[in-house]
Amino acid sequence: MLTCDEYISPVSLPEAFAAMKANRDRYRIVAGATDTLPWAREGRAGDVHIPMLIDVVKIPELCEISVGDKRVRLGAATPIQSFLDDPALARALPAMPRCAVWFADDQIRAQATVGGNIVNASPAADATPCLIAHGATVELVSATGKRTMQLQEFVTGPNKTALADGELLVAVECDALPEYGGAFEKVGHRRSLVISLVCLAALIKLDKGGRNVEDARLAIAGIGPKPLRLTEVENFLRGPLNAERLDAAADMPVSLVASRTRQEYRRDVVRGFMLRGLINAAQRAGADPGMLVPELEAAYA
């Protein structure tokens, strides 16, 4: 059970930083709270008393969303459901709606935030790998300054990030990828509300005829301490789109599985997800139907 002496909801960054400074070591930042409340229960942190909870979702900078031609800016308090409800976001970040539909459930998505998923830094986070595939950078702000860094460098390990004392994650910026096809594959013990055993985000951009891969972006989570971007596979995939090359690409990340449990199963899943994710992304990017072998499609798409 989580108890606190005070729960405040600052409406500006300076107000939040002042509260953080005045309550150093006795506060916790809350965004959606959907991870914080289950954390303070029997079997995890147990009964927890935190003198001050600072809720950041009413700070305007954390709620801004802007979709530009090159980059998309998401305030850290953007609810995950926005990727399903906001057509402009869905167009600019084509794998995010596919990710969102697998993220918890409709109800929790309306409350859970992009920033919370990132800062929580679960090795099985769903949104984080998908954002990484979209080329995300994070904007970290403190009372004295601002810095940005790549999202994959920000998450350093299980529940560990590069967030410094007194800093807030204010926004995430992604590449706008409207010409890409996006896919997100996930498996766990049930369909909704499940922690990923493996999840994979895939984005593919094809040439006009739908026969050549101009760009591919892939990121994976659930198989090690932190999400990974699969740059080597991305480089390999640039070129003709065909079943043999997809097949070869699917094998490449299998050796990255570093989880301590269910390694063999996860390796099988990674291979299957690579094929399914790439085929789905390619189809959504307008692949020439002749380029994908029907058997492969039937088995994986």
Partner 1 sequence: MPDLQFFATINGRKVARNAKPHQRLLDFIRDDLNLTGNKEGCGAGECGTCSVFVNGVLMKSCLMPLAKVQGATIETVEALAKTGELSVLQKAFHKTGASQCGYCIPGMVMAATAALRTNPFADREEIKERLGGNICRCTGYQKIFDAVEMARDVQNGRLAATALFEDEAKEGDFIGKNVRRIDTPSKVSGRLKYAGDMAMSGMLHVQVLRSPHAHARIVSIDTSAAEAMAGVEGVITCADVPGEDGFGVFVNDQPVMARGKVRYVGEAVAAVAAESALVARRALSAIKVEYEPLPAVFDPDEAMRPGAPVLHDYAPDNLTKHIPIRVGDVEKGFAESDLVVEETYTTQPIEHAYLEPEAGLAYVDHDDVVTIVSPDQNITHHRHMLARIIAKPISKVRFIMSPVGGGFGGKEDMIYQGMLALLAMKTHRPVRLVFTREESIISTAKRHPSRTVLRMGLTRDGRIRALEMKMVCDGGAYGLSTEGVMRKAAILAAGPYAIPNVKVDTYGIYTNNTPSGAFRSFGALQTAFATETHLDISAERLGLDPFEIRRINAMRDGALTHTKARLTSVSLTRALNALEKASGWEPGVPNSRGNTRRDLDRDDTRPPCALGARFKTAEKQEAAE
| Residue 283 lies near partner 1 (rule: CB under 8 A) | no
| Residue 294 lies near partner 1 (rule: CB under 8 A) | no
**Given 2, 171, 257, 274, the residue binding partner 1 (CB under 8 A):** 2
7, 14, 54, 161, 259 from 50: Cα distances, Å: 10, 22, 10, 21, 32
Shortest distance (Å) from residue 3 CB to partner 1: 4
Q: Which is nearer to partner 1, 226 or 266 (CB)?
A: 266
Alpha carbon 94 to its chain centroid, in Å, reads 13
Which residue is associated with the tokens 């959907």? 34
Site for partner 1 in 154-193 (CB under 8 A): 187, 191-193
**Given 75, 94, 97, 129, the residue binding partner 1 (CB under 8 A):** 97
| Residue 84 lies near partner 1 (rule: CB under 8 A) | yes
Shortest distance (Å) from residue 58 CB to partner 1: 9
| Residue 235 lies near partner 1 (rule: CB under 8 A) | no
For residue 125, the SS3 value is coil
Cα dihedral 122→258→192→28 (10° resolution): -10
Q: Tokens in use for 223?
A: 């198989």
Cα dihedral 109→115→116→119 (10° resolution): 150
**Given 16, 20, 29, 33, the residue binding partner 1 (CB under 8 A):** 33
Which residue is associated with the tokens 């369909």? 191
Identify whether the C-beta of residue 179 lies closer than 8 Å to the C-beta of residue 205: yes
Q: Which is nearer to partner 1, 5 or 153 (CB)?
A: 5
Q: Which is nearer to partner 1, 30 or 200 (CB)?
A: 30
Which residue is associated with the tokens 């006009």? 208
Site for partner 1 in 111-140 (CB under 8 A): 111
Residues in the chain: 301
**Given 62, 76, 95, 98, the residue binding partner 1 (CB under 8 A):** 98
**Given 12, 66, 107, 148, the residue binding partner 1 (CB under 8 A):** 107
CA distance 217 to 23: 42
Positions that interact with partner 1 (CB under 8 A): 1-7, 9, 30, 33-34, 37-38, 41-43, 47, 53, 55, 57, 84, 97-98, 101-102, 104-108, 110-111, 187, 191-193
